[in-house]
Structure 1
Amino acid sequence: MRPFLLPAILLACLAGTFARAQAESGGYVGSDSCTGCHEAETAAWERSHHAAAWTEASAENIRADFGGTSFDLGAMHAAFGIAADGTRQVTVTELDGSVTQYDVQSVVGIEPLQQYLLETGEGRRQSFDVVWDTEAGRWFHLYPDQSLAPADALHWSGPYKNWDGRCAVCHATDFAANYDPATRSYAATQSEIGVGCEACHGPGQAHLDWARDWETTQEPMPAAGGFPNDPSAPGAFMDTCGGCHSRREAYQDSSPLPGTPYHDAYNLAQLRPGLYWPDGQIRDEVYVLGSFLQSKMHEKGVTCTNCHDAHSGERLTEDNSLCTQCHSPAGNPDFPSLPLQVFDAPEHHHHPEGSPGAQCRACHMPEQVYMGNDARADHSFRVPRPDLSAETGAPDACTACHDDRSPAWAADILEDWFPDSTHRGPHFGQILARGTADPAAAAGDLALLARSEEPGIVRATALWMLGQGGGQAAADAVAGLLQDPDPMVRAAAVDAQRGASAQAQAERLAGLLDDPSRNVRIAAAKAMLALPVARFPDAIAQDLRRAQGDWQAAMQARLGFPETHLQIGGMALTMRNFPAALQAFGEVTDLDPQHVDAWVMQARLAAALEGPEAARHVLDRAVSANPGDLALAGMLSQLDGTGPRLTPPPQ
């Protein structure tokens, strides 16, 4: 075992001996401290979805009808009532026949749906899947195709629906989850529930002190008002807004200090299959940032507050004037590259004035419905490309409305309307579609895409695909991107080096172990762990220890997640620490009994370490949790001698 590595991370994580990360709450004063001086901003914020992101379970905050209503999904029955003291309650009859009454602990959101948190035990707040449609005035289930028993990890009471681990950090100010692996519970803290002033500006004590003393001192306002973050600064939107308005992996279990560089706090999801369509359109619930980073508007310096009020979150206008503040014959001097022409007219949009199709966002920001009734717009501001649908499988804005027509029909219409369009050339989606199907066959084009002038998130996705099967030539071709200015590209370029020789990887990646971005350091640490190198020079070994410390802290922050222990198990296998790997995969299935891959790894490890009977014991438990699973049944047949011999993991 390499002496510079820290194998103790595995056992310490699994035993829960790490000190839990704590939010630095010093200096937070609460939004109520801001209202006296900032009346207009307060009035705007009070009507915002930020203020209502998480509220107490009071009658005035709850919009749902708890007066004897109910909801059924298969054999699951939820009855909603009000106790004598006014407490809202939910009585749930589960598929296994158990009946439990819960008090509503707190309230999430305000419209178009409202969700309720139920506490299933001390330190276990869970997001109930039956929610209230505030527009239709009815109950509905977020996952109507899932009728699950409490033993299923995807049940509303399971680890994937835990509020403090999965959701709360973006619904609170100065939040810390404080997970305890020993009890598998949380002791969460926050300065304020809801997204308050300090969630964006940072702790306000210094600003409050300056304001209190100003009449005496007459000192000028310090930079950013004395706050650690200035959300209005150029480029600050990604760090201020992006953390919550993105699909990402967090590196700590608490709210980053506002203003923390995004890639020091998070690993942004790329345009991977299942999350996005190959052309970059939203598919799964990816929120906004990943889309906006693809846009020409982002490239030209447009930010959130060009379209949204900073304090209410509302659009500045609700009609096309929001777009024509820039896209018009008058233009906007802040964005001088814009073409000065008429867009808000039938000669451009080719729809009747005032009709839904005449709205700019109908074509350039098509919506996708998430959480049952919440329509969210794609923020990549793309030009519709129905001509690509056959290659990418992606939807298009035209046939989303004209659902009785085909993409080919829409492509012909657009060619007739815009015969001289420059938007019908090659598109990165064509390459990503081929890369999704066969990264090795598309390696040359993926390498070209990674070195192109496309947005960083597109190039990073191409690099990740190269890492799935690009080979030595592709790794060599993109090695220069390890020094790219974009930290997302640098981190993904690490993935692309998998096809290079171990020596080349070691030489190329060593310099990234002290990269300014935590995201890049962690990517390099993961890659270096897998290299068959007995010992590194002292300077590199020190950088590697520090980078692995970043990785260790990131895993520590997510010990309540089954997927974290899957990662720990893989790390233990790499280090040939098979007992630690067995323990990690065991924690995966304790948290998520339906995780078949983790059961398979446990059985293989048990067979190698303890013999066939130990493997049989694992498989009996696995089959009990996953009856009818073919992979598990096949492993049992191996033990019974009716199938191929059960083999241990690779060594």
Structure 2
Amino acid sequence: MKKRWIYGIIIFLSITSIGLAIDWWSALPEGEQATYVGRQTCFQCHQKEAAEWKGSDHDLAMNPATPEFVLGDFDNTELEHFGITSHMTHEGDKYFVTTQGPDGKRARFEVKYVIGVRPLQQYLAELERGRIQVLPVTWDTEMKRWYYVSPDEPFGPDDPLHWTGSAQNWNHMCAECHTTNWAKNYDVATDAHHFSFSEMRVSCEACHGPGSIHVKLANSHSVFWDRRYGYGLAKLKAKDATAQLESCAPCHSHRRHVAPGHTPLDRFHDHYALSLLDDHLYHPDGQINEEVYVFGSFTQSKMYRKGVRCTDCHNPHSLKLKFEGNKLCTQCHLEAKYDIPSHHHHKMGTKGAACVECHMPSKTYMGVDPRRDHSLRIPRPDLSVKLGTPNACNQCHTKPEENAEWASHKVEEWYGPKRRDDPHYGEILAAGRAGKQEAERSLIKLTREKEVGPIVRATAVSLLATRYNTPESREVVERALNSKEELVRLAALQGFEGWTPGPEQEASEIGKLLAEGLTDSSRGVRSEVARILSGLPIMPDTSQNQKALKQALEEYKAGLLADGDQSGSHMSLGILYANQGDMKKAEAEFRTAIKLSPAVAGPRSNLAQLLEQQGRADEVKTLRTKEAELLARDARLLPENPMLQYRLGLLYYLLGREDEAVTALTKACDLEPQSADFRLMLTLLYEKQQQWKLAWESAAALVRLQPNNPEFRQIYLNMYQKANPEGK
């Protein structure tokens, strides 16, 4: 009897084990494509999460313009801005704004949708061919008032910054991050948008990915999740924080598109290229300047390097902070060490004692929206003294005597004169931006520094690639092409933009190195390599390389066409076709770029260069004359931008307006004295004008910039001889 019982248990366990093994082995077929099922399907099981999400900023990211969602005062109100009056009214449940239209005349526009809920709300109108634009008036939900997000004087309806222009186009600028499952579906031939989305808000699947596989598995009778697909969603709670961070990053970063169709199941760099710490986006030390959102800042932080993720601080559904006050930080950082006056040197309970005020200072965007810097840095008023950067101390301490020097002395008094990260990478990047020769060694060292974020290392590589043409820098840039970090590999590719091959052996070696990038694991890297090789014919001509190049170029073109409503995409396509020798297609793309953005500088110069090769001189002159008008306008609006002055100077030179070219190029050199390109062009222009003394002096400045450059030394000798024919 006992043996029967034991045999029965063995048989039962065997059958159960076999059944469980079969159950585990059974899986959905390979290639199963997940589709979107909608939030109501998710809510059936996840009711707690649904309750938290309702009313959140994600829930209210975008909604129809109905009384339920419209917060602004449309009860016959007005707002005047530089002589343009906008009139807000409603008729029943419909809302209208009467203001200057795309033709410069007043017209009434129906509000179709609203964006946002706090601290501001914006309103959208639908114009012709599916184009949706952000209306010029914005509602301050805290102060209950109408205001203009841009305080500057508008430039008129022909300008991209006008509310009917490309910079205020919802289809391109807003929609992807205010809807779920967005597709632009722009048709170039008809200049029409046929956009689609599954939900008009940031819903469950915007963060977790399309849910059909998850629903299918949850409703199955299996004991296990699927061995191929797991639970069928993005693994946002995995031990590695990457999946979660890259789920949030597309909408919380300053980036450009690489390819359409991103879902949280995909890698970030297969669809986007993160902007580096460029001088128009970040301060030299990496603090936020322009509207860069969060991810690029966070990747600078020690927390990022230690694996901290968004949900360590934020509830992912309500978006509220997990804890109030300093408790948010002391969940990890020892309260007895950090939340005391001996650390922060402020009275307990005051603003100065709050961790975020010192380590996450804020900057206000869109007039009323303060956002905190997520680089989580130590306050460095000494860098304010050295670099002119902002600092947390002087956000509160604003008395005349409480300047950056005063704050720096206080910090030194409290914590001592030494800092573990001296020199701070901000000092190195600032010197690199200026092209200072003494910064090269420090930049090279910074590319290997593990105690900074990948965005810092990538920025250092970028500066070496674009500002330092020395054997040492070239070696670092070439080595960076094999970095484990996509961002660093992308930065290294900047060193081959417009690169002129040297000796045949060097060209061959670089060609092999770049060709390896055509099969890179990151689509962003593959696409960029293909773009560069399209205009740099140094790749080994093998069938394998040609196939990889063709595939990567198709990826590159698909990414550009996904933004086919943008002038820049067609300009890039035109350059690609010109590189490939298809001048007819190149011309068509440049003309499309001009048609889409007639008031934007750039495409006319490329088209003029193309037509010049075909001997079409009259049209070339017309294009360049118009381009000069646009560049001169931009230079007036941004007088401190050296690149605009340089481009304007080149254009004046091509138009034969040499005196104006000298003025623009001189200003470019004054604004960026470390630029060898700017100084070289000015020197050559002086030479053409036979202004030998000025050419000699300019050549001397050129040699001071790059004393070991043999070409520059020869130019100096030539100019010296011309300026001193008798050897004086």
TM-score band w.r.t. shorter chain = 0.7 to 0.9
- Tell me how far 1:484 sits from its aligned partner: 1.6
Alpha-carbon distance between aligned partners in 1 of 2:479 and 2:633, rounded to the nearest angstrom: 49
The one-letter amino acid of 1:484's match is S
CA distance in 1, matches of 2:420, 2:619: 61
Map of 1:161-180 to 2, 5 A cutoff? 161-180=168-187
2:106 matches 1:111: no
Q: Aligned equivalents of 2:612 and 2:529: distance in 1?
A: 33
TM-score of the two chains, using structure 2 as the length reference: 0.78
Between the aligned partners of 1:284 and 1:644, the Cα distance in structure 2 is 32
Q: 2:479 maps to which residue?
A: 480
Query: For 2:481 and 2:654, how far apart are their aligned partners in 1?
Result: 45
**Is 1:356 the counterpart of 2:351 in the alignment?**
yes
Give the drift of 1:620: 6.5
Q: Is the 8 A contact 1:91 1:99 kept in 2?
A: yes
Matched residue of 2:467: which SS?
coil
Letter in 2 for 1:368: K
> Which of residues 425, 448, 452 in structure 1 aligns to 2:445?
448
Between the aligned partners of 1:194 and 1:633, the Cα distance in structure 2 is: 47
2:180·2:201 contact (CA, 8 Å) conserved in 1? yes
Mapped to 1, the partners of 2:653 and 2:308 lie a distance apart of: 60
**Structure 1 352/643 Cα, relative in aligned 2: closer, same or farther at 3 Å?**
closer
Contact 2:465 2:494 in 1 (8 A): yes
Q: Quote the offset at 1:622 in angstroms.
A: 5.3
Return closer, same or farther for 1:328/1:232 CA change in 2, 3 Å cut-off.
same
Structure having the higher helix fraction is: 2
Q: 1:569 to 1:378 in 2, by over 3 A?
A: same
Bigger Cα displacement from structure 2, 43-52 vs 528-537: 528-537
- What is the rounded CA distance, in whole Å, between the counterparts of 1:492 and 1:164 in structure 2? 29
Partner SS, residue 98 of structure 2: strand
Q: Structure 1 residue 378: deviation in Å?
A: 0.5
Aligned letter for 1:271?
Answer: L
Give the distance between the partners of 1:322 and 1:387, measured in 2 at CA. 28
Shift of residue 112, structure 1, vs aligned partner = 0.3
**What is the alpha-carbon distance in structure 2 between the residues aligned to residue 374 and residue 158 of structure 1?**
23
In the alignment, is the contact (CA less than 8 A) between 1:25 and 1:174 conserved in 2? no
The answer to whether the 8 A contact 2:116-2:122 is kept is yes
State the 1:533 CA deviation: 3.1
How big is the shift at 1:541?
1.7
Match of 2:249 in 1: 242
Query: Where do 1:560-575 residues align within 5 Å?
Result: 560-575=565-580
**Is contact 2:518–2:529 with CA below 8 Å preserved after alignment?**
yes
Report the equivalent of 2:94: 87
- Report the equivalent of 1:292: 298
SS of the aligned residue for 2:264 comes to: coil
Query: Is it true that 1:146 corresponds to 2:150 in the alignment?
Result: no
Contact conserved, 1:439 with 1:468, CA < 8 A, in 2? no
SS at match of 1:505: helix
Distance 2:653 2:534 in 1: 35
Change (3 A) 1:502 1:392: farther
- 1:9 corresponds in structure 2 to none
Q: Which residue number corresponds to residue 66 of structure 2?
A: 58
In structure 2, relative to structure 1, the CA distance for the partners of 1:277 and 1:621 (3 Å cut) is closer
> Could you tell me which of 46, 70, 76 is aligned with 1:68?
76
Report % sequence identity: 36
Q: 1:67 offset after TM fit, Å?
A: 0.6
Among 380, 383, 388, the residue aligned to 1:388:
383
Structure 2 residue 457 is the aligned partner of structure 1 residue 459: yes
| 1:91 to partner: Cα distance | 0.9
User: Structure 1 residues 421 and 43, CA, compared in 2 at 3 Å: closer, same or farther?
Assistant: farther
Label 1:115 to 1:439 Cα distance change in 2 as closer, same or farther (>3 A): farther
- After superposition, the CA RMSD in angstroms is 2.8
C-alpha distance in structure 1 between counterparts of 2:648 and 2:419, whole Å: 54
Task: Give the counterpart of 1:365 among 357, 360, 363.
Answer: 360
Offset at residue 169 of structure 1 (A): 0.9
| Structure 2 partner of 1:471 | 469
State the shift of 1:636 in Å.
8.6
Give the Å deviation of 1:27. Answer: 2.5
Match of 1:251 among 245, 249, 258: 258
Tell me what 2:595 maps to: 590
Task: Kindly provide the amino acid, as one letter, of the partner of residue 72 in structure 1.
Answer: E
- 1:132 alignment partner, one of 139, 147, 169: 139
The corresponding residue for 2:644 is none
Aligned length: 606
**Per the alignment, in what secondary structure is the counterpart of residue 151 of structure 1?**
coil
Please tell me the residue identity of whatever aligns with 1:588.
A
2:216 aligned to which of 192, 209, 215? 209
Q: 2:542 aligns with which of 537, 540, 543?
A: 537
Q: Distance in 1 between matches of 2:144 and 2:487?
A: 43
Deviations 1:462-496 (A, max 9, x none): 11112213224111134322222111112222223
2:649–2:660 Cα contact (<8 Å) kept: no
Q: Which residue of 2 aligns with 1:21?
A: none
The answer to whether the 8 A contact 1:277-1:392 is kept is no
TM-aligned CA distance change 1:532 to 1:97, over 3 Å: closer
Q: For 1:411-430, what per-residue CA distance to the aligned partner results, in whole angstroms no more than 9, with x for missing partners?
A: 10001011275446211111
Whole-angstrom CA distance in 2 between matches of 1:59 and 1:294: 43
Whether 1:493 aligns to 2:497 is no
Please state if 1:377 is matched with 2:372.
yes
2: distance between equivalents of 1:241 and 1:222? 25
